[in-house]
């Protein structure tokens, strides 16, 4: 999505809304939120999606989401993924609630409005994407095919781009949809054009990206970057630490008078924890220990119908477990 489109749709910045309240043209947004019986957000990567970025039980998930929505809940997604990716998953899951995307962006689907951070300081990432393409071509270009990929559907992309047996041994695909973060994946190519995970090559690419990023004089310092490297899938994702989910969640909460709508966040990492007494954070069983420890140390009472803040099940199944408990609560009350 071109940057201009965001600018056209969203002259509204989250921080300004938190400070001055909602502009009148956005009032229908707050009405819908105020009238909800509950607001539930779940994370994408390693929460509702497994290590291969797929949901495990899509039908089960869609079922429990629609049940919650019938009970008046708004079900949304909180993710660091690009706006376009989050909207694609929202359509796949059938959610009706606010969508939180990269760089603390917030999309309200019923009004087709966005609230965004002032992203001037983050232009670096789009420039870096093109710089990385050129630098990687110079460095790996002799045996690697380097693409700025057009789709998250890797197989479709490969069918389109690698129609013929390949002269290349490796593939690097750079994600063009990230505006305020950077992502790519690296794989090996078989002689028939099919691809396979190549941990050694992925490691080299990750190392290369880190090197050119640290050499750049305009890059954020490494300790302000969240460097996510999945060696199994060969995926590298780099985000700025300060673009956290707290701001969009608090913006949503600021639209609820007296904070009377119960609000839940389901996640797998400490980045999914919001320091706010009105938000109940829940974890999937595969969550990072740092998040589990934090939830075990909570002294506020467990919400009704829950025996633990940590699901017994992993990934999609853990999300379904929590959503089921919330739906049962709404039936009782």
- Site of interaction with Mg ion (CB under 5 A): 43, 45-46, 268
Helix%, strand%, coil% for the chain, nearest 5: 40, 20, 40
Minimum Å gap between C-beta 272 and Mg ion is: 6
- 129, 248, 179: which is closest to 1 by C-alpha? 179
Positive/negative CA dihedral, 296, 288, 81, 62: negative
Would you say 171 or 237 has its CB closer to Mg ion? 237
Would you say 54 or 121 has its CB closer to Mg ion? 54
Would you say 268 or 321 has its CB closer to Mg ion? 268
Residue located via tokens 């809304």: 17
**Do 226 and 210 touch, CB atoms closer than 8 A?**
no
Q: What single-letter DSSP state applies at residue 263?
A: E
Would you say 157 or 228 has its CB closer to Mg ion? 228
Phi/psi at 304 (5° precision): -55, 140
Would you say 187 or 268 has its CB closer to Mg ion? 268
Minimum Å gap between C-beta 48 and Mg ion is: 9
**Do 263 and 257 touch, CB atoms closer than 8 A?**
no
Would you say 177 or 201 has its CB closer to Mg ion? 177
Minimum Å gap between C-beta 91 and Mg ion is: 20
Minimum Å gap between C-beta 192 and Mg ion is: 34
Whole-angstrom distance, CA of residue 313 vs CA of residue 158: 34
Would you say 261 or 265 has its CB closer to Mg ion? 265
Minimum Å gap between C-beta 316 and Mg ion is: 13
Would you say 46 or 129 has its CB closer to Mg ion? 46
Whole-angstrom distance, CA of residue 117 vs CA of residue 105: 6
Minimum Å gap between C-beta 268 and Mg ion is: 4
Q: What single-letter DSSP state applies at residue 85?
A: H
Minimum Å gap between C-beta 221 and Mg ion is: 23
Angle at 5 between CA 48 and CA 133, to 5 degrees: 70
Whole-angstrom distance, CA of residue 239 vs CA of residue 266: 20
**Do 188 and 196 touch, CB atoms closer than 8 A?**
yes
**Do 186 and 202 touch, CB atoms closer than 8 A?**
yes
Minimum Å gap between C-beta 269 and Mg ion is: 5
Residue located via tokens 């956290």: 244
Would you say 107 or 245 has its CB closer to Mg ion? 245
How far CA 324 is from CA of 66, 256, 277, 311, 312, in Å, comes to 11, 24, 22, 11, 13
Minimum Å gap between C-beta 172 and Mg ion is: 24
């Amino acid at each position: 999505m071109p940057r201009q489109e965001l600018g056209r749709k969203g002259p509204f910045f989250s921080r300004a809304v938190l400070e001055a309240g909602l502009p009148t043209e956005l009032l229908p947004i707050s009405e819908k939120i105020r009238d909800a019986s509950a607001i539930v957000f779940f994370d994408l990567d390693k929460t509702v999606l497994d290590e291969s970025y797929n949901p495990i039980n899509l039908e089960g998930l869609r079922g429990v989401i629609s049940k919650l929505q019938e009970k008046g809940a708004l079900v949304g997604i909180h993710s660091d993924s690009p706006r376009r990716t989050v909207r694609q998953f929202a359509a796949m899951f059938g959610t009706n609630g606010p969508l939180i995307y990269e760089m603390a962006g917030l999309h309200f689907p019923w009004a087709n409005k966005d609230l965004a951070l002032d992203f001037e300081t983050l232009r670096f990432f789009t420039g870096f994407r093109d710089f990385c393409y050129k630098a990687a071509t110079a460095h790996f270009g002799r045996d690697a095919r380097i693409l700025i990929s057009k789709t998250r559907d890797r197989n479709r992309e490969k069918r389109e781009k690698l129609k013929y047996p390949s002269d290349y041994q490796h593939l690097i695909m750079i994600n063009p949809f990230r505006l305020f973060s950077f992502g790519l994946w690296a794989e090996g190519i078989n002689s028939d054009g099919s691809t396979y995970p190549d941990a050694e090559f992925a490691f080299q690419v990750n190392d290369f990206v880190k090197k050119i990023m640290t050499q750049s004089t305009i890059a954020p310092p490494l300790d302000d970057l969240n460097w996510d490297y999945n060696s199994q899938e060969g995926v590298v994702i780099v985000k700025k630490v300060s673009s956290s989910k707290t701001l969009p969640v608090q913006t949503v909460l600021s639209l609820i008078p007296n904070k009377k709508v119960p609000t839940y966040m389901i996640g797998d990492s400490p980045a999914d924890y919001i320091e706010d007494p009105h938000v109940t954070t829940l974890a999937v069983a595969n969550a990072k220990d740092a998040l589990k420890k934090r939830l075990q140390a909570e002294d506020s009472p467990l919400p009704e119908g829950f025996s633990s803040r940590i699901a017994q099940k992993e990934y999609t199944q853990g999300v379904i477990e929590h959503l089921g408990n919330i739906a049962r609560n709404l039936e009782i009350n």
